[in-house]
Amino acid sequence: MAVKIAVTGFGGRMGRALAAAVVQSGQAELSAAVVRRGSSLVGADAGEVAGLGRNGLAIVDDLGQADFDVLIDFTAPDATRDNADFCARKGRPIVIGTTGFDERQKSAVLAQAERVPLCLASNFSTGVNLCFNLLETAARVLGDESDIEIVEAHHRHKVDAPSGTALSMGEVVADTLGRDLSQVAVYGREGQTGARERDTIGFATVRGGDVVGEHTVMFMAEGERVEITHKASSRLSFARGAVRAALWLVAEGRTPGHYDMRDVLGLKN
């Protein structure tokens, strides 16, 4: 029987991509489409809004009206916190692709993993998660002798910077090298900054146009440079990964806990 998947943030670009990915999966059905309270989309046909043709599913603005086995949430930090609490109370797994959490918000969300299976990732692309593994290798081999910089680019509508994916890449590199990212990260440079300190990890952010997502991590040594780059050309790459994670959480009665996409893909050592 198909897994029932509810999608929040359905009025956004990612919500529509998730709807398409659910339909394409062949293993799931879109059982609920949820938007923010008072949205003009309430009552509209979810299939039509997603460009998939009428499916008879009316969009709602209350998660309590949704029937689902697992929720996929790509919204905003406070909304995600509330949705994770709802899922925990109802005993439903949740997949979270929201970024931009502060420490308080993230702690509140992750606390729900004690009650239900929860998959939170900064990026659900298979390629990006493979890059995380490549970054661990590069950091072990090159990190202590290289200057490390991370450059990311996204569309003009993205509200957080650096991206959650860029920060995750920085965390992977810093953890591998035994550094605390909060102490060594440099977010942009201006003016007389002085010579670069070797242990720092720099971040540069680009915003504009319709760029779906591009990330490059540079390991720069004397005489050579290694770059690990991922470029996304469609939100479907993230949406398909999120649906894959949702199906993985439901499979075999996954136990409560905090998982990420590398768990789903079996990429953890």
Catalytic residues: 154, 158
SS (H, E, C) the chain: CCEEEEECCCCCHHHHHHHHHHHHHCCEEEEEEECCCCCCCCCCEHHHHCCCCCCCCECECCHHHCCCCEEEECCCHHHHHHHHHHHHHHCCCEEECCCCCCHHHHHHHHHHHHCCEEEECCCCCHHHHHHHHHHHHHHHHHHHHCEEEEEEEECCCCCCCCCHHHHHHHHHHHHHCCCCHHHHEEECCCCCCCCCCCCCEEEEEEECCCCCEEEEEEEEECCEEEEEEEEECCCHHHHHHHHHHHHHHHHHHCCCEEECHHHHHCCCC
